[in-house]
Chain A
Amino acid sequence: MGKTLFEKIWDAHIVVEKKNNPSLIYIDRHLIHEVTSPQAFDGLRMNHRSVRRPDLTIATMDHNVPTTDRSLPILDQTSAIQIRTLEKNCKDFGIQLFDITSHDQGIVHVIGPQLGITLPGTTIVCGDSHTSTHGAFGTLSFGIGTSEVEHVLASQTLWLDKPKPFEIRVEGKRKNPHAVTAKDIILSIIKNIGTAGGTGTVIEYRGDGISDLSMEQRMTICNMSIEAGARAGLIAPDEKTFDYLRDRKYTPKNYESLVDYWKDHLKTDSDAKFEKIYTLHIDNIAPQVSWGTNPGMTCDVTESVPSPEDFSKGDHNQKKGAEKALEYMDLKPGILITEIKIDRVFIGSCTNARLEDLIEASKIIKGRKISPHVRAMVVPGSQMVKKQAEDLGIDKIFTDANFEWRESGCSMCLGMNPDILSPGERCASTSNRNFEGRQGTGGRTHLVSPVMAAAAAIEGHFVDVRKMDLN
C-alpha cells in the first residue's frame, strides 16, 4: 500500500521505532521565541546540558514586543525582562537571534518561510501552536510545550505518538477570489468539522481549491489547522512552493537538486489510505464572520446570529457553550451579521499579516476613510513585510484612511503587549482565535479575512464584500 505525504516525512525522520512504543523523531529546525523558551533554558542550565544543534535553532522575539517606535525603551518591565532573557540565552548557547532591531525580525511563522528557513519535507517545531503554518510548504511542523522545547534543545529529537492522516479536499472555484479568501475557506472547514474535528490527526489539504491558492494563502489555511484540533496541516509542494523559496536569504546552495528530490518524493501515493476524509466545495461559499468564542462558531456574512438551539443540534454542552458565547459577545440570536457594529479593527497576526493580505485589504481602503467611531491598526507580520509594503506605498493608503501603521509582532492577536481591547470593545480581527479575553479582558473578537476587516473599518459594521469593487 502506498503512503501519504505525512507518512513519508514521518518515516524519513524516525531515529528509533519499536512496536507499541512512541517514535523518536528527528527535528530539522527549531524556532524559538521569548515567551515559551525561558524555562527551557533554565532546565538546560540546571541539568548542565548544552544546546545540541544551535545551528538548527533560530530565535526571534514577537509575542510581547511593542509595535510602536522601536528606538524607544520598552515601558513594560516584565516584557523587557523576557526580551533581555532571550538575548542572553541566545548569546550563552550560540543561537542566531533576529532581535527587535533586526530587519529580519517578525512573527516566527512569517519569517521562517520568508527567510527560506522553512523547507519542504523537513520537520519544524516551535513552542507555539501556530507552527502548523509551515505545513503550507510540505513541512511537517507543529507546536510544542516548553518541556518539549527543552527536550529538542537538548537532543534535537522528540518522543511522539504517530498521528493519523486526515484528508481534507477543497474542490471547485470561488466566483470572487478577492472577496472569498483563504481565510473564508479555513473558517468554513472549522465551522463544519468542529474545533476538535482534527484531533489526533495531521491534515493534508488537497484538491483544485488548494492548488489554486498562492503560498501566502496556503499558509493561512495551514495556520488554522490547530483551531480544528489537528497536530499539523500539510500541503504537497508544487512549482509555486519551489518558486517562493528560491533565492531567499537562507535558501540552501544545492536548492535545484533539492527541488528535483522533492518533486519525486513529496506527494501522497495514489493508493495511500487516509484515516478520515472531508470534502468542502467552494464554488458558492460566502465570506465568513465568527459570532462566538471559538473559531467553530462562525457563519456566512449573509446569515444572522444563530440561536443556541439551532447551533447545538441537540448537544447539551454545545448549547450551553453557545449561550455563554452570546452572553460574552453581547449578541442576540437573529441579529444580522451585517448589523453588528464594531469599535476596533486589527489587521495582523501569523494568520493574515503577509504582503498579499495587506495588498488585498488596501484595495478596499484606497481613497476612503475609516468610520469615525472605529480605531483601526495594521501590524505587518515582519519587518520585511513592512518594508515591502512601504516600497509599494501601501502604508500611505492605510494611514491616509486613518489606520495606524505599526511595527511587526504578534500584537493584538493575543494581548500580551499594550495593543489590547478595552472591556466591551468589539473587534473585526484577521487573527485566529476569538476566545474570551484573548485580545484583552472583556474584549469581543470577530474572526474575518483582511478584506472583510478593511471593509468593516470603512463601514463601521460587517458587509458582504462580494458586493464591493475589489479589482
Chain B
Amino acid sequence: MKGNVIKYERDNIDTDVIIPGQYLKIHDYAELALHAMEGLDPNFHSKVKEGDFILSGRNFGCGSSREHAPIALSHSGIKAVLALSFARIFYRNAVDGAFLLPIEIEMDAYSNISEGDEIDIDISNNTIKNLTKKQTYKMKPFSEIIGKIIESGGLFKYKPI
C-alpha cells in the first residue's frame, strides 16, 4: 500500500478537530469528507489526495465516539493513519467499518518520516518503507482480533471461531 504522508506533529488529535460537532448531522459521507480535519487544518480538503496517509503523535482520535471521524478521513482518500498511539474508540471504529487502517508506529518512523514522503506499508511483514528517504521502519503488529477483523473487511464480515 503506497501513498504520500500528511504530517501533524502533535499529540492528542481529537475527534472534534477531525470532524467538528456541527457536521455530525450530515448523513452523506462525501459531504462529510469536505469538512475532515477542518478544526485543525482548514486546507486539508484541498491538499489531500486519494491514497494519502496521515502521520501523527500519541493518542490520535481521542475524545468523542463519533464514527464520523474515520468516515470523514476515509472518504477524503486517507487509507491509513500512522500514529505513536491511538485512543481506543477511534481505533475500533476505523477497523470495524473498514474505513482505514490505524497503524501504530515507533519513534524512529515518527521522527524520520516528513510531510510529503512517499511510503509503502507492508502489513504482512509489519514494515513501513520510506521510498523518498530509502529507510525502513517497523510497525507494531495488529492484535489477533484486529488483524482478523481487518482481513475480513470489517466487523460485520468477521466470522469468529
A435 and B63 form a contact (CB under 8 A): yes
**Chain A, Cβ-Cβ closest to B95:** A147
The answer, yes or no, to whether A282 is at the interface (CB within 8 Å) is no
| CB neighbours of B64 from chain A (8 A) | 128-129, 414, 433
Stretch of A1-9, A15-23, A283-291, A369-377 on the interface side:
A15-23
B96 and A147 form a contact (CB under 8 A): yes
Report the Cα distance A78→B27, complex, angstroms.
Answer: 9
**Chain B, Cβ-Cβ closest to A149:** B67
Q: Which residues from 127 to 160 on chain A have a C-beta closer than 8 Å to any C-beta of chain B?
A: 127-129, 143-148, 150-151, 159
**Chain B, Cβ-Cβ closest to A197:** B59
| CB neighbours of A127 from chain B (8 A) | 65, 67
The answer, yes or no, to whether A320 is at the interface (CB within 8 Å) is yes
B160 and A24 form a contact (CB under 8 A): yes
A47 and B24 form a contact (CB under 8 A): no
Nearest CB in chain A: distance from B27 CB, A: 7
Contacts A76-B25, A128-B64 aside, 10 further interface pairs with beta carbons under 8 A come to: A16-B160, A21-B145, A22-B160, A79-B25, A144-B65, A148-B96, A151-B96, A317-B57, A321-B11, A321-B12
Report the Cα distance A38→B32, complex, angstroms.
Answer: 15
A317 interface neighbour in B11, B62, B144, B158, Cβ under 8 Å: B11
The answer, yes or no, to whether B143 is at the interface (CB within 8 Å) is yes
Report the Cα distance A81→B20, complex, angstroms.
Answer: 19
B59 and A161 form a contact (CB under 8 A): no
A43 and B155 form a contact (CB under 8 A): no
**Chain B, Cβ-Cβ closest to A77:** B25
Q: Which residues from 1 to 43 on chain B have a C-beta closer than 8 Å to any C-beta of chain A?
A: 9-12, 14, 16-17, 20-22, 24-27, 39-40
Report the Cα distance A18→B155, complex, angstroms.
Answer: 18
A196 interface neighbour in B27, B62, B67, B89, Cβ under 8 Å: B62
Nearest CB in chain B: distance from A27 CB, A: 15
16 A–B contacts from the bound complex (CB under 8 Å): A21-B144, A39-B67, A64-B24, A64-B25, A143-B65, A143-B89, A146-B93, A147-B154, A148-B92, A150-B156, A196-B12, A196-B59, A324-B10, A436-B39, A437-B39, A438-B16
B16 interface neighbour in A16, A79, A145, A433, Cβ under 8 Å: A433
The 8 lowest CB-CB distance pairs between A and B, nearest first, are A145-B93, A147-B96, A22-B145, A78-B25, A146-B67, A196-B59, A145-B67, A143-B65
The answer, yes or no, to whether B45 is at the interface (CB within 8 Å) is no
**Chain B, Cβ-Cβ closest to A38:** B27
A199 and B21 form a contact (CB under 8 A): no
Nearest CB in chain B: distance from A139 CB, A: 17
Nearest CB in chain B: distance from A336 CB, A: 26
The answer, yes or no, to whether B48 is at the interface (CB within 8 Å) is no
| CB neighbours of A435 from chain B (8 A) | 14, 16-17, 39, 63
A21 and B22 form a contact (CB under 8 A): no
**Chain B, Cβ-Cβ closest to A292:** B12
Report the Cα distance A436→B10, complex, angstroms.
Answer: 14
Nearest CB in chain A: distance from B111 CB, A: 9
Nearest CB in chain B: distance from A307 CB, A: 17
A414 and B65 form a contact (CB under 8 A): no
The answer, yes or no, to whether A105 is at the interface (CB within 8 Å) is no
| CB neighbours of B27 from chain A (8 A) | 38-39, 81
A437 and B156 form a contact (CB under 8 A): no
A438 and B21 form a contact (CB under 8 A): yes
Number of contact residues on B: which range applies?
A: 35 or more
* Number of interface residues, chain A, beta carbon within 8 A: 56
The answer, yes or no, to whether A441 is at the interface (CB within 8 Å) is yes
Report the Cα distance A63→B25, complex, angstroms.
Answer: 10
A321 interface neighbour in B10, B20, B85, B143, Cβ under 8 Å: B10
Report the Cα distance A195→B15, complex, angstroms.
Answer: 14
A229 and B65 form a contact (CB under 8 A): no
| CB neighbours of B158 from chain A (8 A) | 159
Report the Cα distance A163→B57, complex, angstroms.
Answer: 22
B65 and A145 form a contact (CB under 8 A): yes
B161 and A441 form a contact (CB under 8 A): no
**Chain A, Cβ-Cβ closest to B99:** A147
B25 and A20 form a contact (CB under 8 A): no
**Chain B, Cβ-Cβ closest to A49:** B156
A433 interface neighbour in B20, B63, B85, B155, Cβ under 8 Å: B63
The answer, yes or no, to whether B87 is at the interface (CB within 8 Å) is yes
The answer, yes or no, to whether A117 is at the interface (CB within 8 Å) is no
Nearest CB in chain B: distance from A25 CB, A: 12
**Chain A, Cβ-Cβ closest to B93:** A145
Report the Cα distance A78→B25, complex, angstroms.
Answer: 6
| CB neighbours of B57 from chain A (8 A) | 317
A436 interface neighbour in B16, B149, B160, Cβ under 8 Å: B16
B63 and A147 form a contact (CB under 8 A): no
Report the Cα distance A39→B96, complex, angstroms.
Answer: 13
The answer, yes or no, to whether A185 is at the interface (CB within 8 Å) is no
| Per-residue interface assignment for chain B, residues 66 to 110, with 1 indicating a CB less than 8 Å from any chain A CB and 0 otherwise | 110000000000000000010111001100110000000000000
